[in-house]
Chains A and B, each alone.
Chain A
Amino acid sequence: EAGVAQSPRYKIIEKRQSVAFWCNPISGHATLYWYQQILGQGPKLLIQFQNNGVVDDSQLPKDRFSAERLKGVDSTLKIQPAKLEDSAVYLCASSLEAGGNEKLFFGSGTQLSVL
């Protein structure tokens, strides 16, 4: 079974620049998540999609972050403009459904450094 694919693996940008991350979930997984993991902290949910609809984006800084999941399959997360505090690993995860006991499958993440 192919896992969750993410790209790029690493990204270095200067503050105020824009950046985009891409995620392709496991085939057939209806639910897709974007997490932000700052060094020394646990993953924090930014946005959760069920198919192509947003279930939860309460912790997404909407003034600079945006995400979409067209056709309910792959997804992109964008930051524009980036700030120093956005330096983190951005994790994409997927699950079959959105039920509370669903197992999350994670990708390898994109490590973003904002200089």
Chain B
Amino acid sequence: AQSVSQHNHHVILSEAASLELGCNYSYGGTVNLFWYVQYPGQHLQLLLKYFSGDPLVKGIKGFEAEFIKSKFSFNLRKPSVQWSDTAEYFCAVNGGYQKVTFGIGTKLQVIP
């Protein structure tokens, strides 16, 4: 069965700091990987996704994620966070079962 681990459950950063949120998955075959974000008071929305090709994918608002197959990882990065990035971030995997499995989520708080 596929699963997702997010290691940082609560992250606090100052504005302009760099961000990296860890995500590891378990699945032996080809995977599709996602990062979803939920801003305060809003619904979950897709930040970026990987399904093939360049393992470095870029999403909205300056976010990017790198798929490292050998490490079963799909970490989310942003070089300089803003207060508006305060949100909860969910890593998700689809290992071909047509079912998307979500991680527990990481709450990011950016301090002005």
Question: Chain A residues in contact with chain B, CB under 8 A?
Answer: 3-4, 33, 35, 40-45, 48, 55-56, 91, 93, 98-101, 103-109
Contacts and interface: CB of A to CB of B under 8 A. Distances in A.
A107 B45 CA distance: 9
B98 interface: yes
Contacts of B90: 42-43
A43 B44 contact: yes
Interface in B59-112: 90, 92, 94-105
Main secondary structure of the interface of B (DSSP, over half): loop
B91 to A, nearest CB: 9
A106 B32 contact: no
Interface of B: 4, 32, 36, 42-46, 49, 51, 90, 92, 94-105
Contact of B32 (A43, A45, A100): A100
A4 B98 CA distance: 20
Given A100-B96, A101-B49, A45 B101 contact: yes
Contact of B102 (A40, A43, A105, A107): A43
B100 A104 contact: yes
B34 to A, nearest CB: 8
Contacts of A33: 100
A42 B51 CA distance: 21
Given A42-B103, A42-B105, A43-B90, A98 B43 contact: no
A43 B100 CA distance: 10
Given A41-B104, A101-B32, A56 B98 contact: yes
A42 B44 CA distance: 11
A100 B51 contact: yes
Nearest to A101: B51
Contacts of B46: 103-104
Nearest to A91: B44
